[in-house]
Amino acid sequence: MKSPNLSQDKIKIPKHLAVIMDGNGRWAKKRFLPRKFGHRAGAENLRQFIRWCADFSIKYVTVYAFSTENWQRPDDEVQSLMKLIVEFFGKYNRELEEEGVRLQFLGKIEDLPEKSLATVKRAEEESKNRNRITLNIALSYGSRQEIIRATKAFTADVISGNREIEELNQEVFSSYLYTQGLPDPDLLIRTGGEQRISNFLLWQLSYCEFYFSDILWPDFKKNDLKEALMEFSDRERRFGGV
């Protein structure tokens, strides 16, 4: 593997980076701590990670924070995660504002508890005019659910006369997804050693490059990001061509 000390101008920067932040629970287990401490460490690392992405001039970052399947976890873990959402934006909102981070939330956020929902709505509204970097946080998100939701919405528009069935193409369908208006990810990073996408951005990742790291998310640092970007730089993206 190349040394991560190459100058930044030699690195090809993805416009849109997607991240599956895996390994919080195992990070805590290795330290004989409850899982909630791993999630807290992961949230702290996300704060640093966004700064690193901005340093590399990445314009869009989409992170998988909480899936629709995660609601099936033990109640105390879910409650601690919902509480962490409120704490995170209470603690870092000023820093996010100073660094020009626009926030968007993808998923069935209406399923969040009242306080968590109010927090994310307020954070999104207050950040709408920032433009240095856009952080999309997938909360209560599942890609299969997203695709079904988009299909139903398009069908409803056809039935109501607002759309013609012949209008349906990739661009039109994409406009019904949570990610409407965003470019598709160029690079997906998954930490924690697993090599699957876990119902994340199934439509949007069609031509995305994948990078899998064995490093647990709370331990994933700027040099690790740089290594991922360097490997991405060496890949030739053909988009189905030759």
Catalytic residues: 22, 70
How many angstroms separate the Cα of 82 from the Cα of each of 87, 112, 132, 218? Answer: 9, 8, 27, 19
Residues 197, 190 contacting (CB under 8 angstroms)? yes
How many CA atoms lie less than 13 Å away from 87 in the CB half-sphere?
Answer: 11
Helix axes of 35-55 and 75-98: crossing angle, nearest 10 degrees:
20
Cα 166 to Cα 147, 160, 169, 177, distances in angstroms: 19, 15, 8, 19
Token pair recorded at residue 217: 């998310």
